[in-house]
Amino acid sequence: MNRTDSPAALRPVWPGLVFWLLACFAAPVSASWARPDGWYAALVKPEWNPPSWVFGPVWTTLYILMGVAAWLVWRRGGWGAQRRPLGWFGVQLGLNALWTPLFFGFHRIDLALLEIVVLWGAIVATIVAFARTSRVAAWLLAPYLAWVSFATFLTFTLWRLNS
């Protein structure tokens, strides 16, 4: 049997990609009840705070990159072979989903700041774990880490300006 006749090569690849993209886009959907409101509008913000319209396109792009990265790792042996990197991915995705309710829903900048620092560490752990399987997957998460680094500093600044 040559490489193209192996069971893994015969398995359709698109359903897996769709699964990982849907998993990534489920993170913000789970917090759809916690939206910016009058509380957020009244916060003192730094001059470099991005305008609201930036967040939608940025997060859409990041969730697509995250989904493709997880899919690339998953394709290299599935859940059994990739338990650790995909486990880290799940942890960071759960933490990603938690930040919005903490910040916008409960108006807890302090808890959101602590949570995003933990999220940052989980993203780093995911990148390290992904790099052992797929360098491309690890690099696809680099913009996500950069954005969360920026968001961490922004959250810290909002906490300092409004506590």
Domains of the chain: 14-162 (1.20.1260.100)
User: Which pTM was predicted?
Assistant: 0.89
Tens digit of each residue's pLDDT, the chain (163 residues): 444 445 555 456 788 999 999 999 999 886 777 777 899 999 999 999 999 899 999 999 999 999 999 999 999 988 899 999 999 999 999 999 999 999 999 999 999 999 999 999 999 999 999 999 999 999 999 999 999 999 999 999 999 999 8
Q: Nearest to residue 75, comparing CAs of 12, 28, 23? A: 12
User: Distance between CA 118 and CA 124 in Å, rounded?
Assistant: 10
Region of 78 on the Ramachandran plot (φ > 0 left; ψ -120 to 50 alpha; else beta): left
